[in-house]
Amino acid sequence: MAVTVLLDVLTLLAGTSYETNIVKVTIDAAIVDLDTTAFGGSGWTTTVGGLKSGKISFDFNQDYTTTTGLDAVFGLGGFFGTVQTFECRPTSAARSVGNAAHTGSVLIDGWQPINGKVGDLATLSVTWPATGPVLRATA
């Protein structure tokens, strides 16, 4: 079994790389389980999968630079309220079987321009819902 230490995760948001600001990324995919239990199941429940959903979460080191910083790009004057693409890979190397890209689109539906107390590093955490499928690609 190979293990991977995440040191060089490639993350593109709206086609732009933000690795130098991201300290954590989590992609979640889920499917609603629908109960199909009927008489005759010996007391066991049965289920089938329903609608699928996804979300992506980021922990950022905040950046307030004028036009290219996170706050300007994703905040209230930028992509906030729009749908943007994402791509994440375990490393910045090319897509491959061992370095699959996870891609999709998310609704930028939340933003915290400032969150902290005196002396804190300016950070923020967001979770954005996927709109459409979250895909895995190796080429």
Q: What is the CATH number of the domain that holds 122?
A: 2.40.30
Rounded to the nearest integer, the mean pLDDT of the chain is 94
Q: Let me know if residue 113 belongs to a domain.
A: yes
As a whole number of angstroms, the distance between CA 86 and CA 27 comes to 11
Question: Do the Cβ atoms of 58 and 86 come closer than 8 Å?
Answer: no
- The model's pTM: 0.89
Residue 121 belongs to what domain range? 10-137
Helices (H), 12-135: 70-74
Instruction: Return the closest-CA partner of residue 90 out of 103, 102, 78, 76.
Output: 102
> Which two tokens mark 122?
């300016």
pLDDT 10s digits, 94-116? 999 999 999 999 999 999 999 99
Q: Let me know if residue 3 belongs to a domain.
A: no
